[in-house]
Amino acid sequence: MQTIISKIENKDRINFDEALKLYDLDLATLGELANNIREDKFGKKTYFNINRHINPTNICKDVCKFCAFSANRKNPNPYTMNIDEIVDTAIKAHEKGAKEIHIVSAHNPDAGLEWYLGMFKEIRKALPDIHIKALTAAEINFLSETYNLSYEEVIDKMIENGVDSMPGGGAEIFDEKIRDIICKGKVSSENWLKIHEIWHKRDKKSNATMLFGHIESRKDRIDHMMRLRNLQDKTGGFNTFIPLVYQRENNYLKVENFPTGNEILKTYAIARIVLDNILHLKAYWVTSTINLALIAQEYGADDLDGTIQKESINSAAGAKSANGMKLDEFIHLIKDSGFIPVERDSLYNELKVW
Ligand code: V47
């Protein structure tokens, strides 16, 4: 173990087996190693943004077992917002200070390509300066299959219509055997990575998530991180890595052992160490709870996402995030935990030190 620790302290890259072994280290030592990396890069700054999540439809042709949001699972309220409603929501969010609109939908076979792309065009027309972060690789794969377009064609249409960056969703867990159980039929791991690679080739940025704390093993998590690290070596296009803690209510995934806070913090810390080429690590308070996200600041995380205003995907599965977080509360919580709240834009340019 001492050799691995020395490697980390010397900023040498660790391999798969070494990364896996880090789970055997005590949390305090692991946390210190990750925190040193975080402090080296950002000191006590914690980044957040003022954003608005919009989830414009919950009608989905896919059947991911972990999902409680999709209308064909346990949630009985199918909906599809019309474009005027979506634009109106974005305008109201902008009036309240939002600088980013984060749009993630289900895979609705009846909505039409025009609907998927038209919403971006109309938001861009109404709000020329807002940052639109939209369409996960899973949605791009769905549009490509449904409308017989190449990934390149879908991506070029996104850009033409005003999308600025891609969210990190749809990655789940890359291991094919686990993926087959939890989200069979959705974008493959290989294609998830290919889509991000094409996006990065357009000189655009994206994020990467990992859904953990369900039926995957520690090995699967390290494998997931390694596949991201390999792509990032090639493209440099990922801004941030976001470990998403699995939410367990109202879905069909049978899980026997949920991760403890200790295991979640270890996973953040290991991610900070392994992903030496992805600058930011986001503790997405929606899935970790705000309490654990604040602690995660001492285990490698430098970003807490944003105020969100409304959240439907994880709140459907039990997260306490339906109404986002008030700005002043967010800032006070970060300050009270000993960190410096720094409002950022979607590409991590600093806007204001609060
Ligand atoms: O891929 C669905 C996750 C993701 C559950 O890029 C669940 O800044 C936990 O893309 N428990 C979509 N997670 C969300 C997404 C996202 C979220 C936050 C920030 C960013 C970003 C992107 O939501 C899906 C899936 O992994 N999800 N159900 C659940 N029960």
Residue 331 is encoded by which pair of tokens? Answer: 């800032």
For residue 309, is pLDDT > 90? no
Q: What is the dihedral of CA 306, 36, 350, 243, to 10 degrees?
A: -30
pLDDT, tens digit (0-9, with 9 covering 90-100), for 22-54: 999 999 999 999 999 999 999 999 999 999 999
Average pLDDT over residues 249-278: 95
Contact 243 CB / ligand 1 (< 6 Å):
no
Q: Is residue 184 exposed (0-12), middle (13-18) or buried (19+ Cβ within 10 Å)?
A: exposed
CATH classification of the domain holding 43: 3.20.20.70
Give, for ligand 1, the residue of 165, 178, 209 to mutate: max count of ligand atoms closer than 8 Å to Cβ: 209
Average pLDDT over residues 117-140: 98
| Buried/exposed code over 278-291 (b: 16+ C-beta within 10 A; e: otherwise) | bbbbbbbbbbbbbe
Q: Strand (E) positions, the chain?
A: 45-49, 51-54, 100-103, 131-134, 206-212, 238-245, 280-281, 303-306, 340-344, 350-353
For residue 294, is pLDDT > 80? yes
Residue 51 is encoded by which pair of tokens? Answer: 């954003």
β-pairing verdict for 206-212 and 131-134: unpaired
Confidence band, pLDDT 50/70/90 cuts, at residue 75: low
- The ligand 1 atom at the shortest distance from the C-alpha of residue 138 is 1
Looking only at Cα atoms, what is the longest distance across the chain? 59
Q: State the Cα–Cα distance between residues 319 and 288, nearest whole angstrom.
A: 9
Q: What's the domain count of the chain?
A: 1
- The ligand 1 atom at the shortest distance from the C-alpha of residue 133 is 6
- Coil/strand/helix, residue 223: helix
**In which residue are the tokens 């692991």 written?**
30
Confidence band, pLDDT 50/70/90 cuts, at residue 117: very high
pLDDT value of position 323: 85
Q: State the Cα–Cα distance between residues 8 and 16, nearest whole angstrom.
A: 14
Contact 247 CB / ligand 1 (< 6 Å):
yes
- The ligand 1 atom at the shortest distance from the C-alpha of residue 166 is 6
Give, for ligand 1, the residue of 211, 239, 285 to mutate: max count of ligand atoms closer than 8 Å to Cβ: 211
Angle subtended by helix axes 27-42 and 261-274, to nearest 10:
50
Q: State the Cα–Cα distance between residues 320 and 337, nearest whole angstrom.
A: 20
Q: In this prediction, what percent of the chain has a pLDDT beyond 70?
A: 99
Mean pLDDT rounded to a whole number for the chain? 96
Confidence band, pLDDT 50/70/90 cuts, at residue 73: low
Domain with 220 in it: 2-353
Contact 141 CB / ligand 1 (< 6 Å):
no
Q: From ligand 1's centre to the CA of 169, what distance in Å?
A: 5
**Residue minimizing CA distance to atom 4 of ligand 1:** 169
Q: State the Cα–Cα distance between residues 97 and 307, nearest whole angstrom.
A: 10
pLDDT value of position 321: 79
